[in-house]
Structure 1
C-alpha cells in the first residue's frame, strides 16, 4: 500500500515540475492558446476526441406553385330572347299524358321567338284513354277548348294505356277484340271534339321505348291513332324514326335538330331530355307552321297600321318591249330559229360545239393571244 502511495506522489511531483517547466518555456502569447490539462490527463494522457460529424442540413423544399391549366371557354350559343307575344296571337293547345307534357315544353321553346303563336300546355302525366275513371279527356277537353279558344290542338296520349279496360261493365284485357273496338271508339270521340268546327288537329304518335314489349304495343296503338284521326279530319304526326336507329331499335342518344349527337332519352328509357323534347316538337312544329301560315313567322313582325304601308303592285307592261322566242347563238337551227333579233342571220353546220367534241374530238380554236392558243401561225386575220 505504501509503495502505491509513493508512486502516486512521485507521479504528481513529476507532473508539477513538468507543468512549471512548460509554463516557463512557452511565451506568454502562446500560453493563452494552450488548453490546461487536469491531473488525470497528465497521468493517463489526453483521450482522443471523437470528431462529431455535423448533422446534415435538410433544406425544406420550396413549395412548387403549379399554374392551373386554363381551359378554353367553349362559346355557348346564346339562347334566343323571348319575344313579346301579339295581343291577337293564335293559341296552340297541347293536351295529353306525360309525353304531351314533354312535347309542350319543346313547342314552347320552338315558338319562343314567334310573336304570333302562344303554346298552352294542359297535360296530365298519368292520364290516358283507358282510365276515364281517373281522368276523362272527353269530359275535360270541351271546357279547355272553351277557355283557351285555341286555333290548333295537338294531342298525344296512350303511353299509360297498356292495361285492362272496363267495357259495358266487364273488364277486358289489353288488345283483346272488345278492348280494341272500345279503344278505337274513344280515340274517335276525342279527335272529333278537338276537330269540331274545322279546327286543325294534330295527333302525335307514340315513340319507341327501351322495353321491347312496350315498343311493340306502341306500334299497335299508333296504327289506331292514325286511322281514327284521319277519319275525323285531323293529321297524324309520326315521330317514330326520330328515336330509333336504322334497324328500328330504340336509342338513348341520337341526332338532335341540328344533327349533333346528343342524349335524347332519360336513364329509364321512357322520359326525354331537353334535347329529346325539342326533337319531339320539331316534327309537330313543321305542321303547325304550315297550318297557321303567317302567324307562325318568327321575328317581331309588323304590328298595327304598319301592314298597310306595304303596297304590292304589278309592274306595268311596256308597250315598246318586243317579245321573241330565244334562240341559241351556237346552233339556232335546233330550236327552229334562223336569225337573231335585228335580222342578223347565223350560218352553221347544224352541230353544236358539244356534238363536235363528242363525235370527232374537234375543239374550237382559242382566242388569239390566250394562254391555250397553240396555233403555229398566230397572226390575226383581218
Structure 2
C-alpha cells in the first residue's frame, strides 16, 4: 500500500500507469567528412540534408586541391592520425578526384598505375581507413561517381576498385555510388530525378556536381549510415 500521512496522498496503480512518459531524446550523432573537392561538395550536401535535425552534427575536414597521391600539398595519411582524435561517431571519406598523378617519396618518383605506385597508394588508403577504425570509429568510403567518358572514367573506376578492397580489408564500409549516376545503359548521365522532376545534377566539367547533385550524392551515404547506425 502506498504511504499516507501529512502532506502525502495515496496514488493508485492506475494513476501511475497513466502518467505521461517523456519521449527519449535522440542521441547526438557526429559525422566527419574528409576528402578533396568532391568531399567538400558532399559535406555541403550532407549539411543541407540534416539541417532540420539538431541532433546530427556534420564537421568538414575535406580540403579542395588535395589528394592521397600528393603529400606535398597536404599529407592526408599523416593528418588523419591527428584528425581521428576529434570526437566523431562516423567518418565519411571521399577521395580520388586529384589522384591520377605521380607519388613522390624520399626523392623517388612512382608513376601513376605502375605496380610500385599502386602499392604505395594502397598503403596510404589503408592507413587513412585504419586511423579511424583502430579507434573504434565507423568508416564509410563513398566511391567516386561515374564521369563523362572523356573525363577520367576508366581511371576513376580503377581507383574505386582500390578503395573498395582496402576499405573492406580494414573494417570500413564501401558505398558504391557509380551506377546511381548512370543511365539505364550504364552510361554517364548529367540528370537525375529529384522530387519527380528530371534535374541537371552534374557540373559542366563532367566530374563534379551542382548543389542539388551534391545532396543526391551525399544522400547515398546518409541512407547507408542511417540504416547501419540507427540515427
TM-score range, shorter chain: 0.7 to 0.9
1:89 positional shift: 2.0
Deviation at 1:242, TM superposition (A): 1.7
List alignment gaps of at least 5 residues for structure 2: 1-24
Partner of 1:116: 55
Secondary structure of 1:146's counterpart equals coil
Equivalent residue number for residue 227 of structure 1: 165
Aligned-partner SS, 1:216: helix
> Is 1:92 matched with 2:26?
no
2:154 to 216, 227, 230: 216
1:275-294 aligned at under 5 Å gives the runs 275-293=212-230
When Rg is computed on C-alpha atoms for both structures, the one with the higher figure is 1
Summarize the alignment of residues 174-213 of structure 1 with structure 2, pairs less than 5 Å apart.
Answer: 174-212=112-150
Q: Which is richer in strand?
A: 2
Please give the per-residue CA displacement for 1:192-236, whole angstroms capped at 9, x wherever unaligned.
Answer: 002122211000000122243501100000000000000110100
Given that 2:191 and 2:200 are in contact with CA atoms closer than 8 Å, whether structure 1 keeps it comes out as yes
Alpha-carbon offset, residue 173 of structure 1? 1.6
In structure 2, C-alpha distance between the alignment counterparts of 1:172 and 1:122, rounded to whole Å: 27
1:72 is aligned to: none
1:57-95 Cα shifts (integer Å, max 9, x gaps): xxxxxxxxxxxxxxxxxxxxxxxxxxxxx8962210001
User: How do residues 316-331 of structure 1 correspond to structure 2 at under 5 angstroms?
Assistant: none
Which stretches of structure 1, 4 residues or longer, exceed 3 Å deviation after superposition? none
Structure 1: give runs of 5+ residues left out of the alignment: 1-85, 297-382
CA distance in structure 2 between the aligned counterparts of 1:259 and 1:101, rounded to whole angstroms:
27
- d(CA) in 1 for partners of 2:80, 2:151: 30
Q: 1:270 to 1:213 in 2, by over 3 A?
A: closer
The question of whether the paired residues in 2 share the 8 Å contact of 1:203 and 1:234 is answered with yes
CA distance in 1, matches of 2:27, 2:176: 30
Q: How far does residue 165 in structure 1 lie from its aligned partner after superposition?
A: 1.3
Q: Report how many residues are paired.
A: 207
- Is 1:126 aligned with 2:65? yes
For 1:269, what is the secondary structure of its paired residue?
coil
**1:148-171: CA deviation from partner (whole Å, max 9, x where unpaired):** x00110001111000111245321
Structure 1 residues 267-282: aligned runs within 5 Å:
267-282=204-219
CA distance in 1 between counterparts of 2:100 and 2:196 reads 33
Q: In the alignment, what sits opposite 1:158? A: 96
Residue 139 of structure 2 is aligned to residue 139 of structure 1: no
RMSD: 1.8
TM-score of the superposed pair, with normalisation by structure 2: 0.84
Structure 1 length normalisation: TM-score? 0.52
Task: Supply the distance in 2 between the matched residues of 1:216 and 1:239 (Cα, whole angstroms).
Answer: 15
